[in-house]
């Protein structure tokens, strides 16, 4: 009897196939703003060797002995300030971005989202997609600028999950889109619309990106270069618009952590310096974040305001990330549609 004529056993499980999955992935968030939830999240996040490039035998002693006993209380206060009825703003916005993509690419395409750290996990979402018959999956890291500590960790986790699967899907990854015309245009249009709604005309706009240790640049990570190119292209586009006439642009890096040297200039230091030297009206945009989160809603909007005002500033605003704005969703649609080419 040849294999073509063999009959499947009666208890052979049903197999689904022929579907396409699209998974939007962002960094992550605690399940709640309480210290215990924050501690679980930080333990997972800060245990990633790509996030903290210190030998694990040394780092785990520091992490478990000091950081996880002190940092969760401070971070919990920050998360409490920005938590909503829908939970974590980052998870909520990413979920709504995914929901907005549902149905746009045809009935054979399933769109979902996951967090690299915390919930919903990449493992749970990939497992669900495979159960739904997705034998082709597009992974979309929602990081415009590539960094090993963000983009590469998504690849690591996807590889780990698929390593335990017998039947693996065909995979594609959305590449970094730091200089994608769709991204630059979406940022410029959205920021311009927000500037029109301000009650003041800014003298300075900070383009604030998440910071990384200086060693990432020294080791060849393209993150700093990607951020610099995004800032240059966005600056060139905004400078042509009347809403930005006379505005001075500065590129900065936020969220420093620990004693190591980080990319400079730092956002907090720049805010204080601008206030001290006489800048009265300042706005901050965070083009490296696909969705508002604790770094934008608390660090920039609340801590940043205090730093600028106390240093002598008067008018201060943090502009929204692209989130689920029409400009942002149009950009996501265009990028996903391009990367799905040949599958749909």
State the pLDDT at residue 257.
Answer: 83
Nearest one of 216, 125, 121, 139 to 176, comparing CA atoms: 139
Q: How many other β-carbons are positioned within 10 Å of the β-carbon of residue 239? A: 13
14: pLDDT strictly greater than 90:
no
State the pLDDT at residue 162.
Answer: 96
Rounded percentage of the chain residues whose pLDDT exceeds 90: 93
**Confidence band of 79 (pLDDT split at 50, 70, 90):** very high
Domains of the chain in sequence order: 19-177+327-339 (3.40.50.1400), 181-318 (3.40.50.1400)
Count of alpha carbons within 13 angstroms of residue 113, beta-carbon side: 21
3: pLDDT strictly greater than 90:
no
Digit-coded pLDDT (tens) for 213-244: 999 999 999 999 999 999 999 999 999 999 99
State the pLDDT at residue 152.
Answer: 98
Q: In what order do the strands lie in the sheet with 281-285?
A: 248-254, 204-210, 281-285, 315-318
State the pLDDT at residue 1.
Answer: 46
Beta pairing class for 170-173 and 134-141:
parallel
State the pLDDT at residue 342.
Answer: 96
27-41 mean pLDDT: 97
Judge residue 38's burial from the number of C-beta atoms within 10 Å of its C-beta, 0-12 exposed, 13-18 middle, 19 or more buried.
buried
More confident: 11 or 330 = 330
64: pLDDT strictly greater than 80:
yes
Which are the contacts of 285, defined by CB distance < 8 A and separation ≥ 6? 187, 191, 205, 206, 207, 208, 318, 319
Digit-coded pLDDT (tens) for 311-322: 999 999 999 999
Task: Round to the nearest angstrom and report the end-to-end CA distance of the chain.
Answer: 39
Eight-class DSSP state of 290: S
State the pLDDT at residue 169.
Answer: 95
State the pLDDT at residue 7.
Answer: 64
9-23 mean pLDDT: 81
Eight-class DSSP state of 299: I
Rounded percentage of the chain residues whose pLDDT exceeds 70: 96
The mean pLDDT value of the chain amounts to: 95
C-beta separation of 327 from 190 below 8 A: yes
Nearest one of 21, 235, 230, 33 to 131, comparing CA atoms: 21
Output the CA torsion 9→14→20→24 (10° steps): -120
Distance CA 279, CA 275 (A): 5
Eight-class DSSP state of 322: S
State the pLDDT at residue 12.
Answer: 65
Nearest one of 136, 201, 205, 186 to 322, comparing CA atoms: 186
More confident: 129 or 13 = 129
DSSP string, 67-88: IHHHHHHHHHHHHHHH-BTTB-
116: pLDDT strictly greater than 50:
yes
DSSP string, 105-136: T-TTEEEEEEEEEESSBHHHHHHHHHHTTEEE
More confident: 307 or 17 = 307
Q: Which two tokens stand for residue 308?
A: 């600028």
Digit-coded pLDDT (tens) for 122-165: 999 999 999 999 999 999 999 999 999 999 999 999 999 999 99
């Amino acid at each position: 009897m040849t294999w073509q004529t063999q009959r499947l056993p009666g208890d052979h499980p049903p197999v689904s196939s022929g579907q396409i999955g699209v998974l939007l992935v962002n960094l992550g968030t605690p399940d709640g703003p309480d210290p215990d939830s924050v501690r679980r999240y930080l333990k997972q996040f800060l245990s990633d060797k790509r996030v903290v490039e210190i030998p694990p035998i040394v780092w785990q002693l520091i992490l478990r002995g000091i950081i996880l006993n002190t940092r969760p209380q401070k971070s919990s206060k920050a998360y409490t300030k920005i938590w909503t009825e829908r939970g974590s703003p980052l998870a909520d916005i990413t979920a709504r971005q995914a929901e907005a993509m549902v149905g746009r690419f045809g009935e054979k395409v399933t769109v979902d989202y996951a967090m690299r750290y915390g919930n919903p996990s990449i493992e749970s979402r990939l497992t669900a997609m495979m159960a739904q018959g997705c034998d082709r999956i597009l992974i979309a890291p929602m990081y415009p600028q590539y960094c090993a500590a963000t983009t590469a960790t998504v690849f690591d986790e996807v590889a780990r999950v698929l390593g335990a699967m017998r039947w693996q899907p065909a995979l594609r990854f959305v590449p970094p889109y730091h200089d994608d015309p769709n991204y630059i245009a979406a940022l410029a249009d959205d920021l311009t619309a927000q500037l029109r709604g301000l009650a003041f005309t800014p003298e300075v706009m900070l383009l604030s990106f998440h910071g990384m240790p200086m060693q990432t640049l020294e080791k060849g990570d393209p993150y700093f270069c990607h951020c610099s190119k995004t800032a240059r292209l966005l600056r060139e586009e905004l400078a042509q618009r009347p809403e930005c006439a006379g505005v001075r642009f500065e590129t900065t890096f936020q969220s420093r952590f620990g004693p190591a040297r980080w990319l400079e200039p730092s956002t907090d230091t720049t805010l204080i310096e601008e206030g001290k030297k006489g800048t009265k009206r300042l706005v901050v945009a965070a083009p490296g974040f696909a969705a508002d989160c604790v770094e934008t809603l608390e660090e920039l909007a609340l801590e940043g305001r205090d730093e600028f005002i106390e240093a002598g500033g008067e008018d201060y605003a943090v502009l929204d990330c692209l989130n689920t704005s029409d400009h942002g969703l149009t950009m996501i649609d265009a990028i996903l549609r391009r990367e799905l080419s040949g599958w749909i």
